[in-house]
Structure 1
């Protein structure tokens, strides 16, 4: 059923304006964004299908344009561009938050930010968050890409970027396309190698975060640094 045919008190837009966004369910919020459904499938059914397909809003936030295109009803550019735009707004809002306050005032924000950027990638990506003297984000850069199982990471290039950005510390990050966020022996060895290389130029590694769809692990919080 189109949204305009629903009773006024059941329409997401009117409900949001009357009671606030928190009063809407995940399905209602997404239906409000999508606006219309498909022939034979209402907008609420389409919204629920998206949530179910990606394992909830968290999984949907980690989806890329290619994954969204596979969903019937999002193959057209209009709806898909709306969803992709909202996801990008979420990423930029988190980046702004990290630039304006110390990163580890809110460690969960770091995890969520990295999940939004890396978790849905089908291949392994190694990224670095470069931080200033007050632990605020200068930039996040994806420095290396690999296969589904490994990425070649060169400490010299990480050191050069840290110097170029005048970073005082860094957060290392990479994704595990396999879905597990447990660090391997190679992950721990890489962390030690990068920490040693960066220490030579007085740049500290404060954490190494591993992400996968729906989850993230901080090696610092686990005592693995």
Structure 2
């Protein structure tokens, strides 16, 4: 009769292989994604270590941390061994990582290319399941003064309050604007509404010597730039 194998608890592992001890002794870079998640959840179940449970969770999303970060508390709790407290810990850690990416992008301050706009805005809207339209206000050195959400849930010409956009531009002393919105569908092709909004804001801004420098359509992993494609 074949002996049934039961996974060892992390407590029975070699000290160098335990996630917490490994982080302390070798640094955070030495840990795999599963080991880092295992530290968050602290423990597994009777027949599964925290690392094995983390590996199983990651395997369900093709080992993609961005996909793991999109799982809801309810979806995480569907994994045996993950209760509400562990699910909340994972969601909180993923949200902190997303916010950190946004702050790191903002620290660059100066917009030098469409890529720098993407790095600034992707953490905010790239992974959303609904559309949002944002305005980035720049000074004459192309440094970010402010970024504001203009609309949420969809994009039509009626949602663009040109007066509000320009009023805020004058109040903060902006000389340049960059329009940004996301496409949850993943398509990068600008719609007729996208083009109309761009033309409407560009025409209105020119009368106040404020330039619309670009309009970016952002998805989870890439973007489309009106300026780069010479259709601004």
Q: TM-score, normalised by structure 1?
A: 0.76
CA RMSD across the alignment = 3.2
Distance 1:4 1:106 in 2: 50
Match of 2:213, SS state, is strand
Q: CA deviation at 1:68?
A: 4.0
The answer for the alignment partner of 2:185 in structure 1 is 178
CA distance in 1, matches of 2:27, 2:109: 30
Normalised by the length of structure 2, the TM-score is 0.74
Gaps of 5+ in 2: 1-7
Who wins on radius of gyration, i.e. which is larger?
A: 2
Mapped contact 1:129–1:172 kept (Cα < 8 A): yes
For the 8 Å contact 1:126–1:175, the answer to whether it is kept is: yes
- State the 1:126 CA deviation: 0.9
Task: Indicate conservation of the 8 Å contact 1:115/1:216, yes or no.
Answer: no
- Say which of 57, 66, 69 aligns to 2:74: 69
Q: Please state if 1:161 is matched with 2:152.
A: no
Q: In 2, are the aligned partners of 1:12 and 1:28 still within 8 Å (CA)?
A: yes
Distance change in 2, residues 1:85/1:188 (3 Å): same
Give me the whole-angstrom Cα distance separating, in 1, the residues matched to 2:92 and 2:124: 14
Q: Say how many residue pairs are matched.
A: 219
Counterpart residue number, 2:152: 145
Matches within 5 A, 1:1-225: 3-38=10-45, 41-54=48-61, 56-61=64-69, 63=70, 67-72=72-77, 76=84, 78-105=85-112, 108=115, 110-147=117-154, 150-151=155-156, 152-225=159-232
Partner Cα distance (1:132, 1:41) in 2: 55
Q: Give ranges in structure 1 of 5+ residues lacking alignment.
A: none
Quick one: distance in 1 between partners of 2:27 and 2:211? 43
Identify if the C-alpha distance between structure 1 residues 15 and 99 changes in structure 2 by more than 3 Å, giving closer, same or farther.
same
